[in-house]
Copies of this chain bind each other. A is one copy, B any other.
Amino acid sequence: MGTLILGIDPGTIITGYGVIEVTSSYRAIDFGCIKPPSKTKLESRYLILFESLESLIEKYQPDAISTETQYVKKNVQSAIKLGMARGMVLLAAAKNKVPFFEYAPSVAKKAVVGNGSASKSQVQKMTKALLSLKTIPEPEDAADALALAIAHAHTLKMRKSCTNI
Protein backbone atom coordinates (compact mmCIF):
# COMPACT_ATOMS: atom_id res chain seq x y z
CA MET A 1 0.00 0.00 0.00
CA GLY A 2 1.29 3.46 -0.89
CA THR A 3 1.10 6.78 0.90
CA LEU A 4 -2.42 8.03 1.58
CA ILE A 5 -2.98 11.77 1.35
CA LEU A 6 -6.18 13.52 2.41
CA GLY A 7 -6.65 16.83 0.63
CA ILE A 8 -9.08 19.29 2.17
CA ASP A 9 -10.40 22.51 0.68
CA PRO A 10 -12.15 24.14 3.65
CA GLY A 11 -15.03 26.54 3.17
CA THR A 12 -17.80 28.06 5.23
CA ILE A 13 -20.60 26.60 3.11
CA ILE A 14 -18.94 23.58 1.57
CA THR A 15 -15.67 21.76 2.30
CA GLY A 16 -14.20 19.55 -0.40
CA TYR A 17 -12.14 16.47 0.37
CA GLY A 18 -10.16 14.01 -1.68
CA VAL A 19 -8.13 10.96 -0.71
CA ILE A 20 -5.40 9.71 -3.04
CA GLU A 21 -2.99 6.82 -2.81
CA VAL A 22 0.52 7.52 -4.03
CA THR A 23 2.60 4.61 -5.30
CA SER A 24 4.48 4.87 -8.60
CA SER A 25 1.31 6.62 -9.78
CA TYR A 26 -1.67 8.38 -8.20
CA ARG A 27 -5.01 6.74 -7.51
CA ALA A 28 -8.20 8.38 -6.20
CA ILE A 29 -9.60 6.48 -3.23
CA ASP A 30 -12.47 8.81 -2.38
CA PHE A 31 -13.60 12.37 -2.91
CA GLY A 32 -16.63 14.48 -2.19
CA CYS A 33 -17.74 17.28 0.05
CA ILE A 34 -19.01 18.10 3.52
CA LYS A 35 -21.99 20.41 3.38
CA PRO A 36 -23.91 20.99 6.62
CA PRO A 37 -27.61 21.73 6.00
CA SER A 38 -27.93 25.44 5.21
CA LYS A 39 -30.26 26.24 8.10
CA THR A 40 -28.01 24.63 10.72
CA LYS A 41 -26.90 26.93 13.56
CA LEU A 42 -23.40 28.29 13.13
CA GLU A 43 -21.81 26.33 15.99
CA SER A 44 -23.47 23.10 14.81
CA ARG A 45 -22.13 23.65 11.28
CA TYR A 46 -18.57 23.65 12.59
CA LEU A 47 -19.28 20.61 14.75
CA ILE A 48 -20.58 18.74 11.68
CA LEU A 49 -17.47 19.80 9.73
CA PHE A 50 -15.10 18.77 12.51
CA GLU A 51 -16.78 15.43 13.11
CA SER A 52 -16.90 14.68 9.38
CA LEU A 53 -13.17 15.39 9.11
CA GLU A 54 -12.49 13.11 12.08
CA SER A 55 -14.59 10.36 10.42
CA LEU A 56 -12.56 10.67 7.21
CA ILE A 57 -9.31 10.46 9.20
CA GLU A 58 -10.57 7.43 11.11
CA LYS A 59 -11.75 5.71 7.92
CA TYR A 60 -8.67 6.29 5.77
CA GLN A 61 -5.89 6.78 8.36
CA PRO A 62 -4.08 9.19 6.00
CA ASP A 63 -0.32 9.64 6.21
CA ALA A 64 -0.74 13.36 5.64
CA ILE A 65 -3.35 16.08 5.36
CA SER A 66 -2.88 18.69 2.65
CA THR A 67 -4.89 21.87 2.82
CA GLU A 68 -4.98 25.30 1.30
CA THR A 69 -3.05 28.32 2.52
CA GLN A 70 -5.91 30.72 2.67
CA TYR A 71 -5.47 33.64 0.39
CA VAL A 72 -6.32 37.19 1.24
CA LYS A 73 -9.94 38.02 0.72
CA LYS A 74 -11.19 41.56 0.70
CA ASN A 75 -14.13 40.80 2.95
CA VAL A 76 -12.87 40.51 6.52
CA GLN A 77 -16.07 38.90 7.82
CA SER A 78 -15.65 36.13 5.24
CA ALA A 79 -12.04 35.77 6.33
CA ILE A 80 -13.13 35.15 9.93
CA LYS A 81 -15.61 32.46 8.84
CA LEU A 82 -13.04 30.90 6.52
CA GLY A 83 -10.56 30.93 9.41
CA MET A 84 -13.10 29.05 11.51
CA ALA A 85 -13.39 26.31 8.85
CA ARG A 86 -9.61 26.19 8.53
CA GLY A 87 -9.37 25.88 12.31
CA MET A 88 -11.42 22.67 12.14
CA VAL A 89 -8.91 21.16 9.67
CA LEU A 90 -5.91 22.08 11.81
CA LEU A 91 -7.59 20.78 14.94
CA ALA A 92 -8.64 17.49 13.30
CA ALA A 93 -5.03 17.01 12.08
CA ALA A 94 -3.43 17.88 15.43
CA LYS A 95 -5.92 15.91 17.53
CA ASN A 96 -5.41 12.79 15.41
CA LYS A 97 -1.65 13.32 15.04
CA VAL A 98 -1.73 13.45 11.24
CA PRO A 99 1.10 15.54 9.72
CA PHE A 100 -0.34 18.70 8.26
CA PHE A 101 0.85 20.55 5.14
CA GLU A 102 -0.48 23.53 3.28
CA TYR A 103 -0.11 24.83 -0.23
CA ALA A 104 -1.11 28.08 -1.85
CA PRO A 105 -3.99 27.67 -4.35
CA SER A 106 -1.57 28.63 -7.14
CA VAL A 107 0.79 25.79 -6.14
CA ALA A 108 -2.06 23.25 -6.20
CA LYS A 109 -3.19 24.52 -9.60
CA LYS A 110 0.35 24.38 -10.93
CA ALA A 111 0.72 20.81 -9.64
CA VAL A 112 -2.24 19.56 -11.66
CA VAL A 113 -2.56 21.95 -14.61
CA GLY A 114 0.98 23.33 -14.85
CA ASN A 115 -0.37 26.85 -14.53
CA GLY A 116 -0.81 28.65 -11.20
CA SER A 117 -3.72 30.70 -12.46
CA ALA A 118 -5.71 27.82 -14.00
CA SER A 119 -9.52 27.93 -13.88
CA LYS A 120 -11.65 25.70 -11.66
CA SER A 121 -12.80 23.84 -14.77
CA GLN A 122 -9.19 23.17 -15.87
CA VAL A 123 -8.42 21.81 -12.38
CA GLN A 124 -11.42 19.47 -12.67
CA LYS A 125 -10.35 18.21 -16.12
CA MET A 126 -6.74 17.65 -15.14
CA THR A 127 -7.52 15.88 -11.83
CA LYS A 128 -9.79 13.58 -13.87
CA ALA A 129 -6.90 12.86 -16.27
CA LEU A 130 -4.19 12.50 -13.61
CA LEU A 131 -6.31 10.16 -11.49
CA SER A 132 -7.86 8.30 -14.48
CA LEU A 133 -11.39 9.06 -13.31
CA LYS A 134 -14.33 8.26 -15.55
CA THR A 135 -15.97 11.65 -15.05
CA ILE A 136 -14.75 15.03 -13.82
CA PRO A 137 -14.74 15.23 -10.01
CA GLU A 138 -17.74 17.12 -8.65
CA PRO A 139 -18.25 19.51 -6.96
CA GLU A 140 -15.37 21.86 -7.80
CA ASP A 141 -14.38 21.82 -4.12
CA ALA A 142 -13.70 18.07 -4.32
CA ALA A 143 -11.50 18.63 -7.39
CA ASP A 144 -9.65 21.39 -5.49
CA ALA A 145 -9.14 19.00 -2.56
CA LEU A 146 -7.77 16.32 -4.91
CA ALA A 147 -5.46 18.95 -6.42
CA LEU A 148 -4.17 19.79 -2.92
CA ALA A 149 -3.49 16.10 -2.28
CA ILE A 150 -1.66 15.86 -5.62
CA ALA A 151 0.38 18.98 -4.78
CA HIS A 152 1.57 17.27 -1.62
CA ALA A 153 2.28 14.03 -3.52
CA HIS A 154 4.47 16.02 -5.94
CA THR A 155 6.42 17.46 -3.02
CA LEU A 156 6.92 13.97 -1.58
CA LYS A 157 8.18 12.67 -4.92
CA MET A 158 10.55 15.60 -5.29
CA ARG A 159 11.91 15.01 -1.80
CA LYS A 160 12.40 11.34 -2.59
CA SER A 161 14.27 12.07 -5.79
CA CYS A 162 16.49 14.53 -3.94
CA THR A 163 17.30 11.87 -1.32
CA ASN A 164 18.35 9.44 -4.06
CA ILE A 165 20.87 11.82 -5.63
Contacts and interface: CB of A to CB of B under 8 A. Distances in A.
Interface of A: 42-44, 46-47, 50, 70, 72-74, 76-77, 79-88, 90-91, 93-95, 100
Contact of A46 (B42, B43, B82, B94): B94
Contacts of A77: 72, 79
27 contacts: A43-B90, A44-B94, A46-B87, A46-B91, A46-B94, A47-B90, A47-B94, A50-B95, A70-B80, A72-B76, A73-B76, A74-B76, A76-B76, A76-B79, A77-B79, A79-B79, A79-B80, A79-B83, A80-B80, A80-B82, A80-B83, A83-B83, A83-B87, A84-B84, A87-B88, A87-B91, A91-B91
Q: Is the interface of A mostly helix, strand, loop or mixed?
A: helix
A87 B72 CA distance: 19
Given A43-B91, A90-B46, A81 B84 contact: no
A120 to B, nearest CB: 21
- The 7 A-B residue pairs whose C-beta atoms are closest, nearest first, are A83-B83, A84-B87, A87-B87, A80-B83, A47-B94, A79-B79, A43-B94
B80 A86 contact: yes
A92 to B, nearest CB: 9
Contact of A43 (B50, B74, B79, B100): B100
Given A43-B93, A85-B87, A86-B87, 11 more contacts: A43-B91, A46-B90, A46-B91, A47-B94, A50-B95, A72-B77, A79-B83, A81-B83, A83-B83, A83-B84, A88-B91
